[in-house]
Every structure is written in C-alpha cells, then in structure tokens.
Amino acid sequence: MGPGVAARVAAARILDAVLQRGRSLKATLAATLPELADGRDRALVEAIVMTALRQRVRYNHALDHWLDKPLGAKDGLLRALLLAGFAQLELHLPAHAAVAATVDAARDLKRTHQAGMVNALLRRAQREGLPQAEPRLAWPAWLAEQVASDWPQQADAIFAASAQTAPLWLRVNRRWITREDYLGLLREAGIEAIPDPALADALKLDATLPVQQLPGFEAGLVSVQDAAAQAVADAFVLAPGARLLDACAAPGGKAAQLAERDASLRITALDVDARRVRRMQDTFARLRLDIDTRCADAATPDAWWDGQAFNAILIDAPCSATGIVRRQPDVLLHRREADIAALRDSQSNLLDALWPLLAPDGTLVYATCSILRAENAAQVAAFLARTPDAALQPLDARFGHDTGFGQQRLPGEGGGDGFFCARLRKVDPASVTLPA
C-alpha cells in the first residue's frame, strides 16, 4: 500500500461494520486500531470515522444527489469509503493527498473499476463543498420527538451540539501535581489548554490529540474525562475515611477522581463486565490509586456485599447515552425505542437494590449520561415516591438545569456532555417532604 492507504482502508472497514452490520463503534475501533503501527495513523482513522458518523446524513445526501445510479446493497464498503473521503476533506487534510490515498484504497478494496468514480466524487466535494442538513435528521424519529418533547426550547441546540466534535477535557491528578503546574507542563510541550473556573481539576483542549502526547500521562499526572462527568465528584461531601461504593464504575474515572481528592476514602468500584474491570484496574494502577475493584453485579448485593454500610454510593447508571452522541455517534444507529423501558427497569432495580446498603444520613448520587426525562427526573421522582427515607438534596447551577428532581446538563453547555445528576440523603422518614 502507498502512504496513508492502510488508514483509509481501516476507516472504510470500521464504518462499514458500524453502518451496515450494526457493530459497536467502540468495540470495532478497539479491534482495528491496534493493527496500525503508527500512532498518527490511529488518530487519523479515529478522526475520519467519528466525523463521517456525525455527518453521515449530509454525506449520504450528497451521494444520493450526485450519483446517476444509486449504490446497491453490495456497495456498503464503497459507500463507507466515500464517507471517509468526504470526512477527510472536512478535516482539512491536504486535499490532493487525501483524494489520492482514498482512490488507492478503493483499488486495495478490489474496487478498481470504481476508482474513477471515487476520484470524481471527492473532486466534486472539494470544489463545491458538501451540502448542509438539519442535525435532527441524524436522530431516529421517535428519539428526536422525545428530545423535542422533553426539551422544547433547547432541542435544536441539542441536535446541533451532538453533531459537533467534542473538546478534549483533562482531569489533573491533584494527588501528584497542581493544575497550575500541569498547565506549565502543557505549555512547555506546546499544548494550549484552558482551566475551567467551575471545576477545580479540569482543563479544556480544543484540539484533540493522542493521550501519549500528554505530559506525564503514563506517570498518572492526568486523565481524560469530560467536564460534565468531572462535576459529579462535587456532588459528594465526604468525611475522611468514608466508605464509598461506585456501583457501575467502569471505566473508573469518577472513582479515581474521588480517590485523587482524598487518599483516606475507602472506595469499592464494581462493574459487571470482567474486561471493563481489568481496564479499570489498569487505570487505577497508572494513577497509583488503591481502590478495591471487583467484577460483580451491583443489583445483586447478596453476592458481594460484606454487610457493612456505605457512607456514600454513586450509581452512574446504564442509560440511553443520549447526552454523549457527539462522542458515541453510533448511539443513533443502535438505540431502539424498546430499550428505554428496559433501561428504566435496570435503573430502578439498581436504586432499590443499593439504597439499603447506604448508612443513615448517607448520600446516594444517581447519575446518567442521558438527556431523557424518563431516565432522569421521572426515575428519581418515582424512587422518592416509593422510598420513605429518601430525601432530595439541592445541587447548584454547576450541575445544569433544575428539573425539580435533579439537575440536567445538556450537550455542549459549557463545552461538556449531556449529563444528569441527583443527590439523595437517607433520613428519618418522618422528616421527608417531597418536592412539589
């Protein structure tokens, strides 16, 4: 293969797997990227794939209008390559090299007879630009309608933000370095970053780069974590030595952040997936944190709980992921309407199963990366209605819009992801007053 061709072939194969065969983007990237030896190629492939998925409605619209004959059912890989080609032009790669490498990739994919068409379409896109389209059209109709119903004033902004590239957010490990000192390391490396005034450990980079280029990453000085996710730690006020459960912990960012803030906390981090648990353990080792990490189903505590109550519990519950579409654009391809009911049942089960594990006067934080009220405010309202000793505690404006039963950040607000957070305290049932 010529220079850059392998990266274009890889991008096309990933897009084909996700778009045509219903594969998970995260899993397909994890399986494919290690096959590319050069880190720059891995970063390029990921950027191409993410851009093509976010903008697929626009790119497909161009193909539908520019092709005299529509692509057939057997042309999925060719369509994926064309989407990858369009993405490169909008990533502002050198156009000649991008077009040439993509045309060569068509030949490598045994599409030699269509290489001329690939060249012509990419040249046209280069000359004319690609058409615009309403960001809402990328969403399944039922889901777009739900978002518009839940957030009528903000829906257009949600759809638009979810189609944009997210900034790179860093969390500085305050156990080993201050944020100001780490900013100095970034400047020495020629990397520009902006501190977030509302989040003590957060830095925002507008340009995405491989983590290996971050100073001190392997030494545990810094982690990648979105601003909205970092805010969750501020929902806790913990006494030294407090016992905390992170019930659905993978990939481990929130447990790690709390441990970085207070080494005396006794944290148990659970996840039901053994592979994700191993990755968490690797993360904690890199950060030099001592966290009890277990593979277990949080919803069945009889199988793992030692009977000692927790002072605090975090449930970052499985959800529709509608708040992180810009980071996981395949959510819009895979999510089905029936999923929401199943997810709500799972969330309810976690709340009911874990509340008895919380000590009197303890705090439970319920969080999701969803923007759907059914998974968030409605879920918390229902839990409060059936749980006499649970009381909602207010959170401030850092956590987003007040829904009456928790706070909701929407995609793009403050540069962060969409995220819901509610804080509950275990109290004497006689003292509870439900919100209006």
Mean pLDDT, residues 252-263: 97
pLDDT on residue 429: 77
Q: Which two tokens stand for residue 367?
A: 């969080």
Predicted confidence (pLDDT) at residue 387 exceeds the cutoff of 80: yes
Reported as a single tens digit per residue, the pLDDT across 100-143 is: 999 999 999 999 999 999 999 999 999 999 999 999 999 999 99
Between the CA of residue 72 and those of 51, 79, 105, what are the distances in Å? 23, 9, 19
Predicted confidence (pLDDT) at residue 10 exceeds the cutoff of 80: yes
Predicted confidence (pLDDT) at residue 435 exceeds the cutoff of 70: no
Confidence of residue 434 (pLDDT cuts 50, 70, 90): low
Tell me the pTM.
0.94
Predicted confidence (pLDDT) at residue 210 exceeds the cutoff of 90: no
Mean pLDDT, residues 186-209: 94
Q: Which is it for strands 243-246 and 194-195: parallel, antiparallel or unpaired?
A: unpaired
Predicted confidence (pLDDT) at residue 1 exceeds the cutoff of 70: no
Summary mean pLDDT of the chain? 95
Mean pLDDT, residues 205-225: 93
pLDDT on residue 160: 97
* Backbone torsions φ then ψ of 176, nearest 5 degrees: -115, -20
SS3 per-residue string spanning 199-268 = CCCEEEECCCCCHHHCCCCCCCCEEECCHHHHHHHHHCCCCCCCEEEECCCCCCHHHHHHHHHCCCCEEE
Q: Residue 98: which residues within 8 A CB-CB, separation 6 or more? A: 85, 88, 89, 122
Among residues 248, 295, 319, 369, the one annotated as catalytic is 369
Instruction: Select from 256, 277, 292, 46 the least CA-distant residue to 171.
Output: 256
pLDDT on residue 206: 83
Predicted confidence (pLDDT) at residue 373 exceeds the cutoff of 90: yes
pLDDT on residue 232: 96
What amino acid is encoded at 78 in this protein? Answer: L
72-76, 273-277, 426-430, range with the lowest pLDDT: 426-430
Give percent of the chain with pLDDT exceeding 70: 98
What amino acid is encoded at 411 in this protein? Answer: P
36-45, 141-150, 214-223, range with the lowest pLDDT: 36-45
Reported as a single tens digit per residue, the pLDDT across 69-84 is: 999 888 999 999 999 9
pLDDT on residue 207: 82
Predicted confidence (pLDDT) at residue 249 exceeds the cutoff of 70: yes
Residue 293 near residue 277 (C-beta atoms within 8 A):
yes
Between the CA of residue 6 and those of 27, 220, 259, 337, what are the distances in Å? 19, 32, 41, 37
Give percent of the chain with pLDDT exceeding 90: 92
- Determine whether 319 is an active site residue: no
pLDDT on residue 436: 58
Confidence of residue 433 (pLDDT cuts 50, 70, 90): low
Mean pLDDT, residues 314-318: 98
Residue 48 near residue 18 (C-beta atoms within 8 A):
no
Mean pLDDT, residues 226-237: 96
Confidence of residue 403 (pLDDT cuts 50, 70, 90): very high
pLDDT on residue 39: 87
pLDDT on residue 428: 81
